[in-house]
Amino acid sequence: MGPLIPSITLTDPNGNISMIYDDSQPSTAWSGVDGTRFGALTNKGRLVRVWKPAQTNSTNEKYFCHGLSLDTYRRYGYSVFSGPNILKTLEDEYDEIGIGHTPKNAISRVIPGDIISFSNLNTGIIHTVVVINVPVFIESMTEQDIFESLMVWVKDGKKFECVESLLTSRSLFLPVPIMRYWRAR
């Protein structure tokens, strides 16, 4: 990810306008939190929607989970929107690990710094967390024990950043979310 893009109009190969980004469009990332919608480019040059907070927002309302997980808030002052925007970013800048494996086998492949995304069937990716530590002796643990032992760095909405178990983070998105595992290239 890179810095914000000023106002931009994209056209398709036939010259038709396919997308307009205007840095003057106010946007609310979640209920009651003000900011402005911008565009930013992934490392592969695809445009994604991002949100930059209003200067008057309180500290805990200046970014959300994707701004923490991707480190875009600290580096550039924005958070990538959920759904197709975060999916494009992860596809362009990360390798998915653990594809085709059971959750236990997929989690056994993660290392600190990897990202775990939570999705549902209706809206796509809705939450991301960063892996802090992975339990040792994972082969002898139950899936429940792994979820309780694997610690993640998280920011949920208006809450402050914290470290919690993957089990706690996952429980916020029940019924059981679809989890995918990503490693930066």
Please check whether residues 158 and 178 belong to one and the same domain.
yes
Q: Are residues 58 and 112 in the same domain?
A: no
Domain boundary among 61, 81, 101: 81
Total count of domains within the chain = 2
Q: What pLDDT was estimated at residue 6?
A: 60
For residue 73, the Cα-to-chain-centroid distance in whole angstroms is 12
75 and 94 in a single domain? The answer is no
Instruction: Give the pLDDT of residue 142.
Output: 86
pLDDT at position 151 = 94
Note the pLDDT of residue 100. 64
For residues 77 and 95, membership in a common domain is answered with no
Give yes or no: residues 152 and 66 share one domain. Answer: no
Judge if 72 and 105 occupy the same domain: no
Q: Give me the tens of pLDDT residue by residue for the chain, a chain 185 residues long.
A: 777 666 556 556 676 655 555 555 566 555 678 888 888 889 998 889 898 888 888 888 899 999 999 999 999 999 999 999 999 999 999 999 977 667 777 888 899 999 999 988 777 899 999 999 988 777 788 888 888 999 999 998 788 899 999 988 887 776 767 889 999 98
Q: What is the pTM of this model?
A: 0.85
CB 178 within 8 A of CB 103: no
84: which 2 tokens?
């197709």
Residue 181, Ramachandran bin (φ over 0: left; ψ between -120 and 50: alpha; else beta): beta
Q: Select from 81, 104, 119 the last residue of a domain.
A: 81
Domain check: are 94 and 166 in the same one?
Answer: yes
